[in-house]
Structure 1
Amino acid sequence: MSEPASESLSQGRTVGFTVSHRRYVPHSHAHYGGNLVDGAYGLGMFGDVATELCVRTDGDEGLFAGYAEVEFLAPIQAGDVIEATATLVRIGTRSRTLEFEARVVCRSAPERGPSAADVLDPPVVVTRAKGTVVVPAS
């Protein structure tokens, strides 16, 4: 059974509403050679931005129902600063479809020194996904 679509929620949030978080990836999270971090790191960030988006749109943390798509496009490395964004793309009665993107906005540059880093312009897109969250009936 499909849910009726609407373009906005009672709190004034509409399709296209976006939430972003940035986080430094500590070296303690590197699990693989070359200071690589597992792809689930970005998915964890997607859960956090989805939670804030639900709080802002529906006044509830909501529950993540699942991913329809996940693409791992580039590696995440220890020392990266990652920006994760959730964008509301569909509003159902209780479900919300979100699109996610994680980008490396800063990256360590150990060849220049142990604490050297660069701002990446443009950022490197590392993960994209599409998922569904469910919120309580209003």
Structure 2
Amino acid sequence: MSATVGLTVTHRRYVPHAHAHYGGSLVDGAYTLGLFGDVATEVSIVGDGDEGLLAGYTEVRFLGPVQAGDVLEASCEVVRVGTRSRTLRCWADVVARAQPDRGPSAAAVLAEPLRVVEATATLVVPLGPATERE
């Protein structure tokens, strides 16, 4: 078993109000990077049969705000496969957002997802039966 280019995994997560650290119910960028770590772990499990290790990011771009009450969709796609490393293209979109101006629990699905973070990451898997054949 070895990951293949194009393998994509997506997770959806509600952003709880407990994660808001800043005015306007803003959530720090590390929250989304944590989601990328979870998605990358599943990419490694599906592609290589091991949890692997997200070794680092070569690029991270914060494109828009993440707020408490958002529903985030975080995805990672394998864009390069090496002997032990995989390069991942990661992105996160807000697909639903709280609407506190309509009421304390009001929310709506967005007509179009809002891209809020993009990143390029390196995932490393241990040398084992799957990677020894590469």
The two structures have a TM-score, normalised by structure 2, of 0.93
Q: Deviations over 1:84-134 (max 9, x none)?
A: 000000000000000000000000001111111010121100000001010
Question: What does 1:35-46 align with in structure 2 at a 5 Å threshold?
Answer: 35-46=25-36
SS of equivalent to 1:127: strand
Taking only the aligned residue pairs, the percentage that are identical comes to: 65
Q: Deviations over 1:47-91 (max 9, x none)?
A: 000000000000000011110000000010000000000000000
> What is the alpha-carbon distance in structure 2 between the residues aligned to residue 112 and residue 33 of structure 1?
19
Equivalent of 1:32 in 22, 32, 45: 22
Aligned equivalent of 1:116: 106
Count of residues in Structure 1 that have an aligned counterpart in Structure 2: 128
CA drift of 1:14 comes to 2.2
Q: Unaligned stretches of 5+ in structure 1? A: 1-9
- Counterpart for residue 106 of structure 1: 96
Q: Distance in 2 between matches of 1:60 and 1:41?
A: 24
**Counterpart pick for 1:90 among 80, 84, 87:** 80
The letter for the 2-side match of 1:119 is V
Matched residue type, 1:41? Y
Structure 2: how far apart are the matches of 1:39 and 1:94?
28
In structure 2, runs of 5+ residues without a counterpart are 129-134
Match of 1:3 in 2: none
Which one of the candidate residues 36, 55, 68 is aligned to 1:78?
68
Measure the CA separation in 2 of the matches of 1:114 and 1:68.
39
CA distance in 1, matches of 2:77, 2:116: 16
Q: What residue identity is the alignment partner of 1:51?
A: T
Residues 1:137 and 2:93 aligned together: no
Instruction: Read off the aligned partner of 1:28 and give its amino acid letter.
Output: A
Q: What is the aligned counterpart of 1:58 among 48, 54, 58?
A: 48
Q: Which amino acid aligns with 2:23?
A: G
Q: Secondary structure of the residue that 1:46 maps to in structure 2?
A: helix
Partner SS, residue 45 of structure 1: helix
CA RMSD of aligned residues (A): 0.9
Paired position in structure 2 for 1:6: none
Displacement of 1:41 in angstroms is 0.6
Q: What is the one-letter code of the residue matched to 1:66? A: G
Moved over 2 A (4+): none
